[in-house]
Amino acid sequence: MKLARAARIILIGAPGVGKGTQSERLLKAFPQLSAISSGDLLRANVKQRTPLGLHAEQIIKKGDLVPDAMILRLVLEELKGRRWIFPDSKPQPYNLNFSASTQPDDSKMDIAEMMDLPSIVSSYANPSTCDKPDSSFILDGFPRTASQAEILDNLVPINMVIHLDTPFSVIMDRIAGRWVHAPSGRSYNTTFNAPQVAGLDDVTGEKLTKRADDDEATWVKRLEVFREQSEPLLEHYAKKGTLWSVKGESSDEITPQLVEEFARRFAAA
């Protein structure tokens, strides 16, 4: 489906809710959309051993949040590189072939400079945005906190915030049912994609195991951290009137509602 105007979307959902799945499906239904994930931007920097990546690596490993200025800089540079926002308020020809690897060279910037929030905010003061439908994006993972949302509010006009709302008990059941065949990476779920013989891989007949990060206590903690961070974030967007929540117990239950609402708001007639 074609879009009539630029959609600037934030996607919020607990770990394990299927944000990646919904993003993929929206991109398939609306090819003018792009997905930008703050976690992916950070991981690309870690992989490329950039100064920012080296600094972020330890923080990510511990499961903590990287400083606001760091993540804000990455997301804004990505949008600027794609010619979707213009810090100097002068729209330029936009470029679809941009990727994180073409981000400006920050090798000469020191860490203190990279983490200086006032300087990054002032260097992007009053940006203008590209309004062509091809500049539509879904932001996944950013903003993560109400303070990040407040900073973003003054820089980029977000026009829809999607909250994927699945009960935590359903997410926990799904995780508990997840089994993998470690050598091949094949994964199963005892509720909706069970192996032919319980506990064994369909192809090799070898034993299935749990993923190391599917430990129940770890997941309870991840969901609790999400609840703490997301409540003020959701409240923030509810007050602004941009929040739209969709309830569902599975990705297949959520997708049709999401595509319908998205089309109603953004698709060309």
Residues that bind ligand AMP (CB under 6 A): 38-39, 42, 59-60, 63-66, 71, 141-144, 148
Nearer of residues 63 and 205 to ligand AMP, judged by Cβ: 63
Residue 35 CB, nearest approach to ligand AMP (Å): 12
What are the tokens at 234?
Answer: 């959701």
| Residue nearest ligand AMP (C-beta atom) | 39
Find the angle CA(56)-CA(150)-CA(14) to the nearest 5 degrees. Answer: 60
Residue whose CB is less far from ligand AMP, 3 or 71: 71
Which of 50, 148 has the CB closer to ligand AMP? 148
For the CB of residue 140, give the shortest distance to ligand AMP in the complex, in Å: 7
The helix-helix angle for 51-62 and 68-81 (nearest 10°) equals: 130
Smallest gap from residue 64 Cβ to ligand AMP (A): 6
Tokens standing for 219? 């997941």
Q: 222: Cβ–Cβ under 8 A, 6 or more apart, which residues?
A: 15, 16
Judged by beta carbon, residue 24 or residue 261, the one nearer ligand AMP is: 24
| Shortest reach from residue 223's CB to ligand AMP, in Å | 13
Q: Which two tokens stand for residue 12?
A: 């919020």
Number of other CB atoms surrounding residue 25 within 10 Å: 18
Is-contact 3 30, C-beta < 8 A? yes
CB of 145 or CB of 190, closer to ligand AMP: 145
- CA–CA–CA angle 45, 49, 51 (5° rounding): 80
Task: For the CB of residue 128, give the shortest distance to ligand AMP in the complex, in Å.
Answer: 24
